[in-house]
Amino acid sequence: MSLKLTLNFFGGRSPSWIEEGCDVYLKRLSGSMEISLKEQGSAKVVRSAGISNASKAVKNFLKGTNNSDWVVVFDEGGQSVSSADLALRLTAWRSFGKKIRLVVGDSDGLNESVLERANEVISLSRLTFPHHIARLLVLEAIYRAESIRIGHPYHRS
């Protein structure tokens, strides 16, 4: 079954060198899955009279996410997984027959409503990275996991 992944990135546009790196992995992955990027815009919270409201980007993301979509959030509070574990998840996600939405927050992380919508929350690392670099790391991790899944020699354990 074909895998359809959408990578949803909150925050502004990445520096050109990050975009170039992302393009490399998108090209490598395009033969084995349908993969696309969606810039969600800023997830900064608007404060009005002491009440927090989700940003327009967050509202648009939630509105554009179907109940049937499988949402995987990358967040520092998520579960630690190995590359081999992620390869197993890719296999599972293929079997779901659903659109898989991977989500990376901006420099302030993710709005609580996005975290609540997640079906899975995964940590990239115990280290902290700028959100633009996290985008590239997610793509590399997906490529590495796909390489493991298909037996490609890119990953050496």
Helix 16-29, helix 131-150: angle, nearest 10: 20
> Is residue 2 included in any domain, yes or no?
no
Supply the pLDDT for residue 65: 94
Burial class of 120 by CB neighbour count within 10 A (0 to 12, 13 to 18, 19+)? middle
Range of the domain at 126: 7-68+79-150
> Is residue 137 included in any domain, yes or no?
yes
Q: Which residues contact 42 (CB under 8 A, 6 or more apart)?
A: 10, 11, 12, 55, 57, 106
> Is residue 40 included in any domain, yes or no?
yes
> Is residue 128 included in any domain, yes or no?
yes
Supply the pLDDT for residue 50: 40
> Is residue 49 included in any domain, yes or no?
yes
Supply the pLDDT for residue 154: 86
> Is residue 133 included in any domain, yes or no?
yes
Low-confidence ranges of the chain (pLDDT < 50): 48-52
End-to-end CA distance of the chain: 27
DSSP E strand boundaries for 54-141:
70-80, 99-104, 120-123
Supply the pLDDT for residue 49: 41
Structurally, the chain folds into a number of domains equal to: 1
CATH number at residue 64: 3.40.1280.10
> Is residue 157 included in any domain, yes or no?
no
The overall pTM is greater than 0.75: yes
> Is residue 18 included in any domain, yes or no?
yes
Supply the pLDDT for residue 24: 97
